[in-house]
Chain A
Amino acid sequence: MTGVDDSELAARASGGDPEAFGELVDRYAPMARRVAYAVLEDQEDADDAAQEGFLSAWQALGRYDPKRAFRPWLMQIVVNAARDLRRRRRVRAAEPLDNVAAAARDDPAREVGEIHLGEQLRKALATLPERQRLAVVLFDAEGYPQAEIARMLGIPEGTVKSDVFHGRRALRKVLGSVKEEWND
């Protein structure tokens, strides 16, 4: 099913084909989980939100307009699921991703510096307001156009631009200082 495009898979999934839905999950789970993590800053919560998002999307597939791109439609649902979950679990202490992810990778070839950069970037992300985090992650990491992000988050495009600008400033500082450490 790898050659089948998203709208075809969505149409099949909408007709009750769980395999087609599974293929969509396989394609977009990494992105959905990253975006959910950007909102929730907790790995378990991010997985719960991504799961809720996918299931909500499946239930809503009957209302999906195939003329629209599937990916942003799905991400909008995941972002909403993550925000809902955050409202419900505001009191729960966040479990940092760094140790879990680093341990789970269990890849001796991975550069120590890369893990360090990841830690620093996550720390820097955590200092940003949620909307800025989402804007930078959706724009720079996931490659969505700013107009699309504005539609997803329900905010003006100018606000997305400003959020990306401010978010990047903090993150680029971290990226720059880690690169300097590498060069030393």
Chain B
Amino acid sequence: MTDQGNDLKRDIELGTALSAALEMPHHGAFVTRMKALARRAARPRTWDEVLAGWFWQGVLTTSVVLAVVLIGLNSSDRDATPLAGEESVAVQLIDAQRPGADVILASMTGAR
């Protein structure tokens, strides 16, 4: 509880208590892990590590290319398929069952 009136001065008692309260265990393990990471980052990568680094990019690119090809195939198939059930004008005109077809046919031939 020192320096209560002076907020520009460090409170040593509170600081020491806080420092102890926030002390984290396993300092050695943390430092060892960091050193290992630093050593790994410092040495040049071997060819298999380089290949491994490209693995996910390769998978992603292949997936995108496959997706584009499949979408392209799908849409070209749809364009090539004839429209089902659509009849030509000629077929409609000679269809005796169709109401009004005979009138149109007669008017077309009668005009000659």
Partner of B24, one of A18, A33, A161: A33
Picked from B13, B18, B21, B35, the residue with its CB within 8 Å of the CB of A22 is B35
**Neighbour of B30 across the interface among A19, A47, A100, CB < 8 A:** A47
- B112 at the A interface (CB under 8 A): no
B31 neighbours in A (Cβ, 8 Å) = 22, 25-26, 29
Contact flag A121-B21 (CB < 8 Å), given A21-B38, A58-B41: yes
Which of B1-9, B50-58, B71-79, B103-111 lies at the interface? Answer: B1-9
Q: Which residues does chain A contribute within 8 Å of B30, judged by CB atoms?
A: 25, 29, 33, 47, 50-51
Interface size on B, residues (CB 8 A): 32
Q: What is the distance, in angstroms, from B35's C-beta to the closest C-beta of chain A?
A: 4
Q: Separation in Å of the A171 CB from the closest CB of chain B?
A: 6
Query: Contact mask A110-131 → B, CB, 8 Å, 1/0?
Result: 0000100111011001000000
- Interface flags for A43-57 (1: CB within 8 Å of B; 0: not) read 100110011001100
Residues of A within 8 A of B25 (CB): 100-101, 104-105
Alpha-carbon separation in the docked complex, A19 to B32 (Å): 11
Q: Is the CB of B38 within 8 A of A37?
A: no
Q: How far is the CA of A164 from the CA of B37 in the complex (A)?
A: 36
Identify the A interface with B (CB < 8 A).
16-19, 21-22, 25-26, 29-30, 33-34, 37-38, 43, 46-47, 50-51, 54-55, 58, 97, 100-101, 104-105, 114, 117-119, 121-122, 125, 136-137, 139-143, 146, 161, 164-165, 168, 171-172, 175-176, 179
Known: A51-B33, A172-B4. 16 other contacts (CB 8 A): A17-B42, A33-B24, A33-B30, A43-B24, A55-B41, A117-B17, A118-B17, A122-B21, A137-B18, A140-B15, A142-B19, A164-B7, A171-B14, A175-B14, A175-B17, A176-B1
A–B complex contacts, Cβ < 8 Å, 26 sampled: A17-B42, A18-B42, A21-B38, A22-B31, A22-B38, A29-B34, A30-B24, A33-B24, A46-B24, A51-B33, A51-B34, A51-B37, A58-B38, A101-B24, A117-B17, A117-B20, A117-B21, A118-B17, A118-B20, A121-B17, A122-B21, A137-B18, A140-B10, A165-B7, A172-B1, A172-B11
